[in-house]
Structure 1
Amino acid sequence: MTTARTYGQMCPLARSMDVLGERWTFLIVRELLLGPKRFKDLADTLPALGPNRLTARLRSLEAADVVRRSTLPPPAGVAVYELTERGEGLREPLIALGRWGLGLPPSPEIDTATTRVDLIALSVSSVVTPDKLAGLKEIYELHVGRETFHVEIADGRMRTRSGPSPVRPDLEIHCRTRTFLKLIFGGTQVTDAVRSGDVRVAVGTDELVERAFDLMSGTEIDYPVYVGM
């Protein structure tokens, strides 16, 4: 006999869904893939979830050793939620699922105003092959529309993180959301965007800008729904 909270099957996928299958759980993990977050940060990003359900989901994830509570070092010193080592193991499968979703056709039920470029960067930057990242140790800080996020490259990995870089970045750029999407999905060339002023380079060189977008747009799949925004 099983309860409503478990599939009751001796199957790795079923066991994974016992932990992750409740509504909103994947999206909480998605936010934490971008770095530690305060409860308020999660509540603001997922307003339809509501504080009570958010608390319940976080408790379940803590019990499953997917999420833990921590405190950021000074000067921040605030309580946050972050992924455990087991939680980090979800990075590749969840980002792969997100990339699969990039290719889905548009739906009238989806509000395009909810587009977040940090989540797109999280998805597309994850597939960069280690050979392209070999020997690179760089940080790119991007101000896109009203969003700010940074991309860290180190140890053959490229990861997108929320907010500004905690240290001085090697590259800092400013652009509109539409410009960013066209650069990522092939609607325009980096050199043209810099020359026209659509991309403003606050820190770094033109060479770094080209490398950053070459890495982040390292995909052969076309996503016209984003290019057309």
Structure 2
Amino acid sequence: MRVGRSYDQFCPAARALDVIGGRWTLLIVRELLLGPRRYTDLVAGLPGIGPNVLAERLRELGEAGILSRSRLPPPAASAVYELTGLGEAMRPVVDELTRWGLRFLGAPRPGERFQLGWLLGCVRAGFRPELARGLHETYEFRVDGDVFHLRVDDGTLDVRHGSAAEAACVVSTDLATFMAVGARLLTVEDALERRIAQLEGGLDAVGRAVTILGAHLEATNGRYGIIGAVGAGFRPEAARGIRETYEFRVGDFLFHARVDDGTVEMGQGPAPGPGPAAALITDLATLLQLGAGTLALEDAFADGSATPEGDPGAGLRMATAFGVVLGR
């Protein structure tokens, strides 16, 4: 079925883009992959979309058989949109697009919005099915007021908004702690001891969730987790002619970046060879602020939240290569 404008090509890729290639269309699918959503939920999850555009896209997707509209039973009695089987078949496409898009994520741009629900695609994209064979368990997370749950069923994963009917564990925390545990910069035990996370249910269940959902550096070669986030901020144009290795020490976690004439290779552990030309010692919260450009390196040094080591000139080149704001 043709929806909207067409490429007029007898090609499966072109025909698919006829259906889901319009502006906002794929993001609507992204939202519905997390479960049925009311119209107001879609408006909240798609800031910037106009009501006329949203209504038109929903109509087009409905005509294409990708979503359906139904009404929840009382007492809710709300109309909701949900994906059909044809729409659910988009899940691996969206997951792979999310993995691919991590290469371009970098630091947030000025004016960019963020919602936790958008991060859940990264959680699903990093799932390790081979570690979840024979496991049937649900984990609930409450992060800065947002609630979602993850259902693992014999090597498959389903991520949904809202509370779980029955969860092996419920973890309540803030976004920075959630990201730190997922990136394996912070253990669940440490987060609980420091009271930056609360747990209902079994600690062993949380451990299983982190094992199958958290960053796996040995399998991803540093593409995901905090190493991937730092690597994504690399600016090749600022590193032409530079051949140096830098080290990042974030709490007890250590990784390095080897820069070679505009290219970078990220790795876990200390810098190889004679040692790094420069090193940055800091905590996760400060590193996230530096990467997002909300904290200048000069200010981080001044308040003691970050400490440099090595050659000062190399330290400046390191900051420039990774897009860190040097001063106000």
TM-score interval, smaller chain = 0.7 to 0.9
Alignment-derived partner of residue 39 in structure 2? 39
Alignment-derived partner of residue 182 in structure 1? 180
Alignment-derived partner of residue 79 in structure 2? 79
Give distance in 1, aligned partners of 2:92 and 2:75: 32
| Matching of residue 108 in structure 1 with residue 109 in structure 2 | yes
**Would you say the 8 A contact 2:128–2:212 is kept in 1?**
no
Q: Which has the higher strand share?
A: 2
Alignment-derived partner of residue 236 in structure 2? none
Alignment-derived partner of residue 316 in structure 2? none
| Matching of residue 120 in structure 1 with residue 119 in structure 2 | yes
Aligned pairs (5 A) from 1:110-149? 111=112, 114-149=113-148
Give distance in 2, aligned partners of 1:4 and 1:131: 40
Alignment-derived partner of residue 208 in structure 2? 211
Q: 2:168 aligns with which of 170, 180, 187?
A: 170
Report % sequence identity: 37
SS of the aligned residue for 1:70 comes to strand
Q: Could you tell me how far 1:188 is from its partner in structure 2?
A: 2.0
Amino acid in structure 2 at the alignment position of 1:181? M
- Give the superposed CA RMSD: 2.2
Range with bigger deviation, 12-21 or 69-78: 69-78
**Would you say the 8 A contact 2:4–2:19 is kept in 1?**
no
Structure 2 gap ranges (5+): 218-222, 233-283, 289-328
TM-score w.r.t. the length of structure 1 is: 0.88
Q: Could you tell me how far 1:108 is from its partner in structure 2?
A: 2.8
Deviations for 1:54-90, whole angstroms, at most 9, x for unmatched residues? 0000011011111111223444332110011110110
Alignment-derived partner of residue 160 in structure 2? 161
Give distance in 2, aligned partners of 1:218 and 1:108: 24
Alignment-derived partner of residue 324 in structure 2? none
**Would you say the 8 A contact 2:4–2:18 is kept in 1?**
no
SS of the aligned residue for 2:185 comes to coil
**Would you say the 8 A contact 1:126–1:158 is kept in 2?**
no
Give distance in 2, aligned partners of 1:107 and 1:126: 20
Give distance in 2, aligned partners of 1:95 and 1:130: 14
**Would you say the 8 A contact 1:124–1:218 is kept in 2?**
no
Q: Could you tell me how far 1:204 is from its partner in structure 2?
A: 1.0
Deviations for 1:111-146, whole angstroms, at most 9, x for unmatched residues? 2xx333333233233443433222222111111113
Alignment-derived partner of residue 194 in structure 1? 192
User: Which of structures 1 and 2 has the larger relative contact order (alpha carbons within 8 angstroms, sep 6+)?
Assistant: 1
Q: Could you tell me how far 1:218 is from its partner in structure 2?
A: 4.4
Alignment-derived partner of residue 92 in structure 1? 92
**Would you say the 8 A contact 1:121–1:216 is kept in 2?**
no
TM-score w.r.t. the length of structure 2 is: 0.63
Q: Could you tell me how far 1:190 is from its partner in structure 2?
A: 2.5
SS of the aligned residue for 2:118 comes to helix
SS of the aligned residue for 1:52 comes to helix
SS of the aligned residue for 2:159 comes to strand
* 4+ long deviations beyond 6 Å: none
Change (3 A) 1:115 1:19: same
The structure having more radius of gyration, on CA atoms, is 2
